Amino acid sequence: MPEESLRAWTELIAACSPARSPDVLDVGAGTGMFAVALARWSLARAVVAIDASPAMLAHADHHENVRYLTADAAALPLADARFDLAVLSRVIHHLPDRRQAGAELKRVLRPGGAAVVRTTVRERLDSIVYEYWPELRALDAGRFPSESEVITDFTAAGLHVTGVLSFAEPLQPSLRAWRVEVQRRTSPSLASSRTHNSVLVWSGSMSQSPPEPALTRSASATTY
């Protein structure tokens, strides 16, 4: 992902935190892209990044404030009420038991803590790639949850949705134009998403007022 996009995403995610200097959990952290970005560019006090795949973590970027753990989202080896902010980026579609993962998020979040789910949802599969690879749309429709499925499962787990932001990242008009754009960049990356993005924000507490994520303010910064 280009640095400007990663910074904008980091700003958006951090804006959802109820704490100014949050303890952050990155679930399904992969190679630590967001874990390290949050450690570098937000006021995060510390980041714990978990992933079920030791192979992914073996390639994770190092940062002094990021601790990596091999763990399943459905069974976090972490204390109760430990985090202010949890991030799940492009991982929700991998989780076979979303309710259990939601229950684990609720358990490890402090009262009023927030969970941010960054994902594509089934009803908005509009990436340009489907025009060139139509079979992929059916595959993705089978693996990505709908927005309402995520809301239903996390609500059943005791979380409380406080905001949903959905937007398409700008597309190049053609693959040729996309290639020109990639070549123009000094560090090109095809990881730059051109899919529709949804960001769902959850509060771990139903008894307190949920945090008000600054989604509107941050949204303009995320349109890369």
Ligand X SMILES: C[S@@+](CC[C@H](N)C(=O)[O-])C[C@H]1O[C@@H](n2cnc3c(N)ncnc32)[C@H](O)[C@@H]1O
Query: According to CB under 6 A, which one of 30, 102, 163, 213 is a site residue for ligand X?
Result: 30
Residue 5 binding ligand X, by CB under 6 A: no
Site for ligand X in 39-58 (CB under 6 A): 51-53, 56
Stretch that binds ligand X, among 5-13, 88-96, 131-139, 150-158 (CB under 6 A): 88-96
Q: How far is the CB of 213 from ligand X (least distance, A)?
A: 19
Cα separation, 205 vs 197, whole angstroms = 25
Under DSSP, the state recorded for 162 is: E
Beta-strand ranges (E) seen in the chain are 23-27, 46-51, 66-70, 83-89, 109-119, 160-168, 196-203
Site for ligand X in 55-74 (CB under 6 A): 56, 72-73
Stretch that binds ligand X, among 29-37, 77-85, 108-116, 197-205 (CB under 6 A): 29-37
Task: Return left, alpha or beta for 112; rule: phi > 0 is left, psi -120 to 50 is alpha, else beta.
Answer: left
Stretch that binds ligand X, among 30-38, 131-139, 200-208, 209-217 (CB under 6 A): 30-38
Half-sphere exposure of 107 (CA within 13 A, CB side): 14
Residue 33 binding ligand X, by CB under 6 A: yes
Structure tokens at 196: 């529709």
Contact status, residue 197 vs residue 215, Cβ threshold 8 Å? no
In the complex, which residues of this chain contact ligand X (CB under 6 A)?
Answer: 28-30, 33-34, 51-53, 56, 72-73, 89-91, 94-95
